[in-house]
Amino acid sequence: MTNTYTNTRIEYHILQSFPVTCLNRDDVGAPKTAIVGGVTRARVSSQCWKRQVRLALHEIGMVGGTRTKLIAGLIADACMRLDATQDQAVACGNKIEQIFIKKKEAKPKKGKADIEENDQPSSEGEKTDTLLFLSPNEVQIIAHAFREAGFDPDAVIKQKDAKKQAAELAQLIGQINEHIDALDIALFGRMVAQAASMNVEAAASFAHAISTHKVSNEVEFFTALDDLQEEPGSAHMGSLEFNSATYYRYISLDLGQLAQTMGEEDLKKAIAAFTQALFVAVPSARQTTQSGASPWEFARVMVRKGQRLQVPFETPVKAREGGYLQPSIDALRSYLDKKEKLAGSLFGKQEAYDWGENEDFSIDHLVAALQTHIR
């Protein structure tokens, strides 16, 4: 079947300003940074913002997958809903989970102490190695297969070798499930090392969000008082790092890949949900003490074919008229307009939409405009 949307993408170029925040922390609790154009920029990792987009999709009401190492419980619960006994459900769940168990190799025994230690039974000898991402439909397919076999695990997964069992599971799902029903799996992809046929290519690509300008992290010193303490002075002192920045976010949505994974029937709904999730999603770090609640300030959203195009902001913008936002908007527009002229026919633009300056063009209007590109 011909994919109508092959090599067609929606590209989101978003500018978003945050005041005092720590949107994404590193291993010592400081806001993440990066060196771009020879200067330090504030940074929010792609995986951080993707997580929030995924959660926002669930809140919007889209069908989402479950990503977990607790595979046995997920399958067991589905079997229980199909009238399996608890013992049957647990056995079926364990059968699926053991496919993805990584067995640890025993350490060489060196001395008496080691021998005594290694001879003790260990509950840590086996562990689930895979954070498996399954859609609701896939979970149901597995549970129904067990029910048809009288909840006999060995009648469904017949192979003994783990790799062959994984292939057997993938074949079971693939025979019935032509398209993935979970939007988040279609957007963010899935990799299953034990069963490559279960892999799903991600339709969405996220760049790390960076500040358009130079940023230096600052330190907040704080104290806490004891309500019952009679002596003067604080009961606790501490410090937290923070910054403030205008961030540039780049996200690309491959419509061809999304159609291949989900089917073309749900593309309009998927585009609407994804755009809305991008709009509302904000990283959750320190939201109770440094509430980062800033929506988009400006966005240029393009529907185009050909090579993806990200604005590098290699030259940091300078504050003008008291802020970074307007010079960032000007720099973004100038860069994209220039690249469009230089690329000529290879730019492949079908349409571009500027959001944020015309009050009569809301996020709902943007969604509706993007949906017109789906036939």
Q: Is the dihedral of CA 43, 47, 51, 56 positive or negative?
A: positive
Closest of 303, 302, 262, 340 to residue 8, by C-alpha:
303
Cβ neighbour number for residue 83 with a 10 Å cutoff: 10
pLDDT the model gives residue 115:
43
Distance CA 41, CA 305 (A): 30
Structure tokens that stand for 276 in this block: 């809305």
Longest C-alpha distance within the chain, in Å? 79
On whether the CB atoms of residues 8 and 252 are closer than 8 A, the answer is no
CA nearest 189: which of 248, 254, 128? 254
Q: What is the mean pLDDT of each run of 10 residues along the chain (375 residues)?
A: 89 96 88 96 96 94 91 95 96 92 59 46 53 91 95 93 88 76 93 86 97 92 83 82 94 96 92 98 82 92 95 95 93 98 96 97 98 95
Q: Residue 308 half-sphere exposure, CB side, CA atoms within 13 Å?
A: 17
Q: What pairs with residue 14 in β-bridges?
A: 249, 299
Q: What whole-number distance in Å separates Cα of residue 325 and Cα of residue 321?
A: 10
Quick check: pTM over 0.85? yes
**Measured distance CA(202)–CA(253) in Å, rounded:** 9
Identify the pLDDT of residue 111. 55
Within 13 A of 135's CA, how many CA atoms are on the CB side?
A: 26
3-state DSSP call for residue 250?
A: strand
What secondary structure letter does DSSP report for 70?
-
- Tell me which DSSP letter residue 270 carries: H
pLDDT confidence of residue 28: 86
CB under 8 Å to 328, separation ≥6 — which residues? 15, 212, 213, 246, 248, 298, 313, 317
Q: What are phi and psi of 294, to 5 degrees?
A: -100, 125
Q: Give the domain ranges of the chain.
A: 8-63+203-223+240-371, 67-106+126-181
- What single DSSP character describes residue 216? -
